[in-house]
């Protein structure tokens, strides 16, 4: 009888240990947030992203399958600044009373905050400012700090582990930022064209100047009149690179390329997956391509 009780007790304790060792499940709105979470969380987290890296983060279809996945998560990382209002629908629809929703824009120095009231005639302007803040690596550190605080709340026992990982991420990001800025220095003041206003933080950080956009207003398709004016802008500013997100049509960028010789640089403003090294490696790849 004692032997049976001992075995049962051992099984129960083993089950408790396994339960306690289960990874913290983290849902990320976009892969960038997931990648940083994987870095800070290390082997104690399990991360998945709702949106794909090459998809438009402004327009993600809310599916029941997303809600089911989030119902099993402990943390939800949203972009904020009105970019991913679909995240709120998914979090609410998950009916997960224990879900900690984290707005990763908290503490970010936001660019392009509109003055006064925002209306539809301004296009897809976000009332809180430009939401593509992760394209400044210093904001990547802010994101990591927000994730760190969330992990410490839901998994306090492993707080020292998360703090060490956060510090490693901060140091690595700062070191690489110096290298990236050194590479980009030769392009300081260079005029570029954007399709959408995704690259404001990137340009601000690395000394590029956005001379114009393919969209006359954010989210508004270009007209022939606008493209004609943009041709003049490209020529006057000697702009040689046009940044195009892969989810926008090719027609206008290719037309501008034929008319002016501007090189179309089609690149997603997000890394492709949630692996711990994806976010920083993304900068390596983009900057290497630009500087070449």
Residue-wise pLDDT for 216-243, tens only, equals: 988 889 999 999 999 999 999 999 999 9
The last residue of one of the domains, among 162, 180, 198, is: 180
Do 175 and 55 lie in a common domain? yes
Question: In this prediction, what percent of the chain has a pLDDT beyond 70?
Answer: 88
pLDDT score of 219: 83
Of 88, 135, 87, nearest in space to 111 by CA: 135
The last residue of one of the domains, among 180, 201, 221, is: 180
Rounded to an integer, what distance in angstroms lies between the CA atom of residue 163 and that of residue 137? 19
How many domains would you assign to the chain? 2
Range of the domain at 27: 2-180
Do 30 and 57 lie in a common domain? yes
Do 173 and 200 lie in a common domain? no
- Those residues with Cβ within 8 angstroms of residue 190's Cβ, 6 or more apart along the chain or in another chain: 207, 208, 209, 240, 241
pTM of the model as a whole: 0.89
What confidence tens digit (pLDDT) does each residue in 99-144 have? 999 999 999 999 988 775 654 444 455 567 899 999 999 999 999 9
What confidence tens digit (pLDDT) does each residue in 244-275 have? 999 999 999 999 999 999 999 999 999 999 99
pLDDT score of 128: 72
Average pLDDT, the chain: 90
């Amino acid at each position: 009888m004692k032997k049976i009780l001992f075995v049962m007790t051992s099984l129960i304790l083993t089950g408790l240990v396994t339960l306690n060792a289960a990874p913290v499940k983290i849902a990320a709105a976009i892969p960038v947030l997931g990648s940083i979470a994987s870095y800070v969380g290390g082997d104690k987290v399990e991360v998945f992203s709702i949106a794909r890296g090459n998809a438009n983060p402004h327009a993600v279809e809310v599916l029941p399958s997303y809600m089911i996945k989030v119902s099993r998560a402990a943390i939800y990382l949203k972009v904020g600044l009105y970019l991913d209002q679909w995240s709120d629908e998914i979090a609410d629809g998950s009916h997960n009373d224990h879900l900690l929703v984290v707005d990763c824009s908290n503490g970010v120095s936001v660019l392009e905050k509109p003055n006064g009231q925002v209306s539809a005639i301004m296009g897809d302007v976000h009332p809180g400012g430009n939401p593509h803040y992760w394209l400044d690596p210093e904001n990547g550190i802010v994101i990591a700090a927000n994730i760190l605080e969330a992990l410490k709340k839901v998994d306090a026992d492993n707080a020292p582990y998360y703090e060490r990982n956060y510090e490693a991420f901060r140091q690595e990001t700062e070191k690489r930022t110096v290298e990236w800025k050194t590479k980009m220095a030769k392009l300081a003041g260079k005029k570029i064209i954007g399709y959408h206003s995704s690259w404001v933080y990137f340009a601000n950080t690395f000394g590029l100047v956005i001379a114009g956009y393919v969209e006359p207003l954010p989210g508004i398709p270009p007209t022939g009149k606008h493209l004609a004016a943009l041709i003049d802008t490209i020529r006057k500013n000697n702009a040689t690179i046009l940044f195009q997100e892969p989810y926008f049509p090719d027609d206008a960028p290719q037309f501008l390329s034929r008319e002016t010789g501007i090189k179309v640089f089609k690149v997603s403003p997000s890394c492709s997956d949630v692996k711990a090294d994806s976010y920083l490696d993304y900068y390596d790849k983009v900057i290497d391509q630009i500087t070449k």
